[in-house]
Structures are given as C-alpha cells and as structure tokens.
Amino acid sequence: MKDTFYITTPIYYVNDAPHIGHAYTTVAADILARYNRLKGKAVFFLTGTDEHGQKVQKAAEEKGRTPKEQSDIMVENFKNLWLKLGITNDAFIRTTDEEHKKVVKTILQTLHEKGEIEKRAYSGWYCLPDERFWTEKEIIDGKCPDCKRPVEEIAEENYFFLMSKYQERLIRHIEENPLYILPDTRRNEVLGFLKNNPLGDLCISRPKERLSWGIPLPFDNGFVTYVWFDALLNYYSATSYLAPHDSGSWWPPDHHLIGKDILTTHAIYWSTMLMALELPLPENIFAHGWWTIEGKKMSKSIGNVVDPNAVVEEFGADAFRYFLFREVPFGIDGDFSEQAVIKRSNTELANDLGNLLSRTLAMIEKYFEGRIPQPPAFDIKGEVDMTRLLQLKNIAENIGADFDVYMGKLWFGHAIDKVWAAIDDANKLIEDEAPWNLWKTGDTAKLAGVLYALAETLRIIAVYFSPFTPSAAEKIWKQLSLEGDLSKADLDAEIKWGRMRPGTKIHKGPAIFPRIEKKAK
C-alpha cells in the first residue's frame, strides 16, 4: 500500500471573496487529509491562492496599491477562513512565491526548447473578468458564455502551447484509466468534448503592454505567462519547495479536488501540459457540483452568495462541515438553506449523537460514580445475556471495511451512514435495555455491560468522525478521558473493541452540539 497521500484544492483567485464553493472543496480535502493521517500515511495537503492577472492589477490600481500589496491583503481572507473551518493544510502556496516563479520559468524554458511552444498571430474575443479568449462561435450576443458580460475583440501576437498534438493520447489515457476523472458524468463530458471537437492550441502569454502583472517568459521578456498556465503549475512547483522531503517523491497527486467550472482547464490543459513535460498524470481529478441557495443560483447581483464566515459564526464549524457532506452526494449539485443546516444539526448532531454522549455519561456518573464500569465478558455463552450488546459491538467493529472503501471513492455520505448506523443502534440499545430498570432490579453486571458498550461505541465513533467534525470528536474524546491527541491516533489500533479502560474517570461536559434555536423565516 502506498504510504504517502498528496491532495490539492485549486488555488483560489485572490481577488474573489471566499464563498461556499471555496469552503466545500477545501473541507473535502481536509476530510481526506485527516483520514489518511489516521491511517498512518505521510500526507501533503496543499491549498493556496492565484495572484497574477488583470483583475488583480486593475483592483490594485483602483486602490492605489501595487498588485503584490493588494494580494497580501486579500490572501488573509482565505487564511482566516481556513482557520475558522479547522483546515489542516500542510502548505499554502502563492503564485507570487519566488520559488514558484522559478519553477514556472524553468518549465516554460524546457517546453520552449522542446518545441512545445511557438509564437503566432492571434485574434479572438476577450473577456476581461474571466481573463479568457473565446471564438466567434462560442460568444453569445457579444457576451462571454460563462459570465454573460461583454467581450472585446483583440488581435495580437502571443505564444501558444501546442496542446492539439495530445488529443488522441489524452482520450486513450482517460479511457484506460476510468478513475482519472470523476464522477463518471464529468468523465463522459470530457470524453464527449475530446471526441467531437478538434482540440486547439493553448494561448499561454499576454503582452506586457496589456498586462504587466505576471511571470515574464524566460525566452521573451516582452510577454508574461497567462494566469492559467502559471496557476496549474502550482501543484508541481509546491512539491519542490513546500512538501516535506523526508517522505520521498510526492508526485503524482492522489487527488486534485476542483469545482466543475474548472474541469476543462484541469482535465485537458493540465493533462496535456504534463504529457508534454513527460511527467506522470495525477491519479484522480474529482470535479464536484455547485451549491444553489434555496433553489436559486448564487449571484453577487442578486445578493444571495453564502458567506462561509457568517455560517460558521452562527452555527459552528462542525455543523457546517457535517451539513456539506451529509446533505448531498459529493459530486452533484446541492442546495443550501439555513433551515436545512438547523434541521441536520438539531435532529442528527444534537439529538442523535449529542444526546447519546450526554445520556451515556450521565448514567455512568449516576450508577458507577463517574467511572467506566468493568463489563462482563462480551460472550454469548456467559452468565449475563449479552446478545443485544453483541449486536452493537458487531456494528461498531464492522464500520471499518466499508468506511475505508467509501472514503477511497470520495463517497462521504455513505461513510457517514456507516457511522450513523452505530449511533442509531446505540440509542436503540438504551431503549431496549432500559439501564434505569437494570439499576432498579439490581442487575449491575448487565448494566455495566450496557454502559461499557455505549462508551466504547462512542470512542470508536469519535475516531471515525474526527475527519468530519474534528472539534466535536475531540470533545467526545476528552469527556471519555481518553489519552493522546485524537488527530494523531492510529486508526487501525483505535477502532478495535475493548480499548476503553474500566475505572477511567469520565469528565462530562456541556453539550457538544447545543440545539440551534432559530425561527423559520
């Protein structure tokens, strides 16, 4: 089994305010990074910001700043949000890093010397907000097909990466590697495009007279690198100066997590760039869906863009993280509403999980002086009837196999379902066995078994849930008085039944998920 795990988010455009889409991709990467650390792998989790281009230059000019000064200010928006969301990225790359710029120049020079880049005249319709050229066929009523804003016709000389020569090779790679692009709908989308359209060459430069804020081409100082070519190389450049070097080579990445709006740039531009460089392609590019809000597309003009900072402040990071990956399968579009967050948090996190912890610890305090009881043997042939308890033990012990498969496929919702089966059965055990009646009838052996089974199940649940709701999982860990840092736990060891030590003094605390009291609009 591979003992390293390299995962990336896109590098986010520094001039944008962080929104729910940025948070979604980054939390997904964080969940996978945390899980693979639990599995004992050396993990490199990369995120960062894309800081070159005309929009940054224009915004800086309007504010009387240099583009770098503008970037330094804006980048803090992302770093601060990642702290609020509990993101455990190992590195934060900026395309203004001197080390990144050196790598970009080296690669450009290499491709130029290999004959993979050539200069030619070009004319097309240019969208300034998207910093992208469109053909006559692609524009709609004189507007950009993506952002619907007016485009301008530009004719100039530029440098082109000869992307077209890799069309057939890319088709073969995608067909021979079914996991390369996921979900399948995105894979089919890319294949459909490649099989039905001639692939053009990629314009990778801008004249300095039109754009000065960028990395100069090493072979022609009159041009700077086009932002996409510069940005995509971050995934590779980071491995040379940001990744730990005691774990061997990090290339290729296990996952590039992206939104579906940048699928073409990654599945086609990036793939062909790597082919030209004779570098291995990533194991997987996963393009997830978009979030709407109460059925409507988010738009700055409508004013319905979800600010993840505000959601975290109102509902907490764990509730937000849980909602994002419980509400819809990862890969398809989802709908966000405050009421949906409240419902998930109150019914599942507060009622099902929070109350399970609270009730279990309260009974241990009441019946066993706040110490984990010594249970009878978990044996069907013992003096105490452990049949029902063995059912819960079996469910908790068997989360692992399916959970690992689901996490490997990025089926986060299915992974949560496996844990929730244990939560549901633990709650049902309380109703079935009625510990208060066992106490009244003096059946302390059975009572000890029930409460030990509940505490042990909660311990195992905390381990599995720590990638999704890290703060809440840590609170469960502490209230059970378990030792060590949960984020550094050994998954294989911790999911084994029976590690909860009898006699341990618990520390019951406040509710890990207080109910959210908010009236419907």
User: What's 400-414 look like in SS3?
Assistant: HHHHHHHHHCCCHHH
pLDDT tens, N- to C-terminus, the chain (521 residues): 679 999 999 999 998 889 999 999 999 999 999 999 999 999 999 999 999 988 888 889 999 999 999 999 999 999 999 999 999 999 999 999 999 999 999 999 999 999 999 999 988 888 877 777 787 888 888 898 878 889 988 888 999 999 999 999 999 999 999 999 999 999 999 999 999 999 999 999 999 988 899 999 999 999 999 878 999 999 999 999 999 987 668 999 999 999 999 999 999 999 999 999 999 999 999 999 999 887 787 766 667 788 999 999 999 999 999 999 999 999 999 999 999 999 999 999 999 999 999 999 999 999 999 999 999 998 877 778 899 999 999 999 999 989 999 999 999 999 999 999 999 999 999 999 999 999 999 999 999 999 999 999 999 999 999 999 999 999 999 999 999 999 999 999 999 999 999 999 999 999 999 999 875 44
**What's the rounded Cα separation, in Å, for the pair 248 and 73?**
35
Element (DSSP H or E) covering residue 69: helix 67-84
Distance CA 327, CA 347 (A): 13
Query: In the prediction, which pLDDT does 420 show?
Result: 97
Q: pTM above the 0.85 mark?
A: yes
**Local structure of 43: helix, strand or coil:** strand
CB 228 within 8 A of CB 54: no
62: which DSSP letter?
Answer: H
Tokens 């109703």 label which residue? 431
Half-sphere exposure of 506 (CA within 13 A, CB side): 32
Cα separations in angstroms, 369 against 301, 366, 376, 377, 396: 60, 6, 18, 21, 26
pLDDT at 122: 80
pLDDT at residue number 305: 83
DSSP 510: S
Measure the CA–CA gap between 424 and 430, rounded to whole angstroms.
10
Which residues fall within 8 angstroms of residue 234, CB to CB, at 6 or more apart?
Answer: 11, 46, 48, 50, 93, 95, 100
Going by the DSSP 8-state scheme, the letter that residue 345 receives in this structure is I
Query: Any residues with CB less than 8 A from the CB of 447 and at least 6 apart, and which?
Result: 367, 373, 435, 438, 439
Fold of 338-494: Isoleucyl-tRNA Synthetase; Domain 1 (1.10.730)
User: In the prediction, which pLDDT does 247 show?
Assistant: 65
Q: Locate 371 and state its tokens.
A: 């110490």
pLDDT value for 258 = 98
How many Cα atoms occupy the beta-carbon half-sphere of 407 within 13 Å?
Answer: 24
